[in-house]
């Protein structure tokens, strides 16, 4: 399969407008611009609302997904991390460049379970891999009145060690796997994305599925409305 490269990468901003250091600290998410322009890339229907926010300070990158859902499906057997692939989930993929060699994936379900793995183009998954270091990645989740919320934080040090944070910018894909049916024997999903990947069939593991997240200070912010346009 040939790599399809996109020359138009949407951009969003993460601002450093507070000094909270831990994911379990109450964060002022009102200071983060809400990205709401998620789509069904392979359907003309309107997806349930999904909102992404991001903040950062000198130590960590913080993110939050709020997912609208009327029927939240999670698969629990032994609670192994691979059970996340059969559950409703939100996802962030990080890459260094369009070669995707390697790139890193975080898939997080409403129970706060994390499927973290490294992979290489095309779909050479390494599920035994874990985000390096104790406390370098923190995630929590909670049910809400309209669905569920997932919050997380990642140290800037680990992002730099993986060559993901470059010039205060992250190349990232933002997604949701909306679970329609639990395994019986197979699960069923519809797929939600920030950008429209250049693929005829559902696939987020390609270069055109990524955009950019810029880590900016208050003085250097630019028009967020324009940045969120696809």
pLDDT tens by residue, 7-57: 456 788 887 755 444 444 567 888 898 999 999 999 999 999 999 999 999
Say if 3 falls within a structural domain: no
Number of domains in the chain: 1
pLDDT of 2 higher than 50: no
Say if 112 falls within a structural domain: yes
Using DSSP, state whether 53 is helix, strand or coil.
strand
Q: What is the pLDDT of residues 82-91, one digit of tens each?
A: 999 999 999 9
Return the CATH number at 145: 2.60.40.1190
Q: What is the pLDDT of residues 164-217, one digit of tens each?
A: 999 999 999 999 999 999 998 889 999 999 999 999 999 999 999 999 999 988
Say if 6 falls within a structural domain: no
SS3 content of the chain, % helix, strand, coil (to 5): 10, 40, 50
What is the C-alpha to C-alpha distance for residues 148 and 128, in angstroms, rounded to an integer?
27
Say if 32 falls within a structural domain: yes
Say if 1 falls within a structural domain: no
User: Locate tokens 């359907």: which residue?
Assistant: 43
In angstroms and rounded to an integer, the radius of gyration of the C-alpha atoms of the chain is 17
What is the C-alpha to C-alpha distance for residues 57 and 134, in angstroms, rounded to an integer?
19
Confidence tier at 220 by pLDDT (50, 70, 90) = low
Using DSSP, state whether 47 is helix, strand or coil.
coil
- Position with higher pLDDT, 91 vs 226: 91
Say if 5 falls within a structural domain: no
What is the C-alpha to C-alpha distance for residues 9 and 43, in angstroms, rounded to an integer?
21
Say if 117 falls within a structural domain: yes
Check residue 186 and give its pLDDT: 87
Phi, psi of 173 (to 5 degrees): -110, 140
Confidence tier at 6 by pLDDT (50, 70, 90) = very low
Check residue 17 and give its pLDDT: 53
Using DSSP, state whether 76 is helix, strand or coil.
coil
Q: Which of 14, 23, 18, 16 is nearest to 138 (CA)?
A: 23
What is the C-alpha to C-alpha distance for residues 101 and 61, in angstroms, rounded to an integer?
23
CB 194 within 8 A of CB 207: no
Say if 2 falls within a structural domain: no
Question: What is the extent of the structural domain holding 173?
Answer: 11-227
Q: What is the pLDDT of residues 101-153, one digit of tens each?
A: 999 999 999 999 999 999 999 999 999 999 999 999 999 999 999 999 999 99
Check residue 30 and give its pLDDT: 86
Q: Which of 62, 51, 69, 50 is nearest to 26 (CA)?
A: 62
DSSP 33: P
What is the C-alpha to C-alpha distance for residues 201 and 198, in angstroms, rounded to an integer?
9
């Amino acid at each position: 399969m040939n790599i399809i490269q996109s020359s138009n990468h949407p951009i969003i901003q993460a601002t450093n407008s507070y000094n909270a250091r831990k994911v379990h600290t109450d964060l002022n998410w009102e200071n983060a611009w809400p990205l709401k322009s998620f789509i069904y890339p392979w359907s003309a229907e309107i997806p349930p609302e999904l909102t992404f926010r991001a903040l950062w300070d000198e130590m960590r990158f913080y993110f939050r997904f709020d997912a609208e859902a009327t029927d939240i499906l999670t698969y629990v057997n032994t609670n192994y991390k691979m059970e996340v692939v059969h559950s409703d989930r939100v996802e962030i993929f990080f890459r260094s460049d369009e070669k995707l060699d390697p790139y890193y994936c975080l898939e997080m379900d409403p129970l706060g379970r994390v499927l973290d793995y490294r992979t290489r183009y095309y779909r050479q998954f390494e599920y035994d891999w874990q985000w390096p270091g104790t406390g370098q990645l923190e995630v929590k989740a909670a049910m809400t009145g309209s669905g569920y919320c997932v919050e997380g934080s990642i140290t800037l040090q680990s992002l730099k060690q993986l060559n993901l944070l470059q010039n205060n910018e992250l190349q990232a894909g933002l997604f949701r796997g909306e679970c329609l049916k639990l395994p019986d024997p197979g699960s069923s999903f519809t797929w939600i994305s920030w950008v429209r990947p250049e693929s005829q069939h559902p696939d987020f593991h390609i270069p055109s599925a990524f955009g950019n997240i810029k880590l900016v200070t208050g003085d250097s912010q630019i028009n967020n409305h324009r940045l969120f346009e696809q």
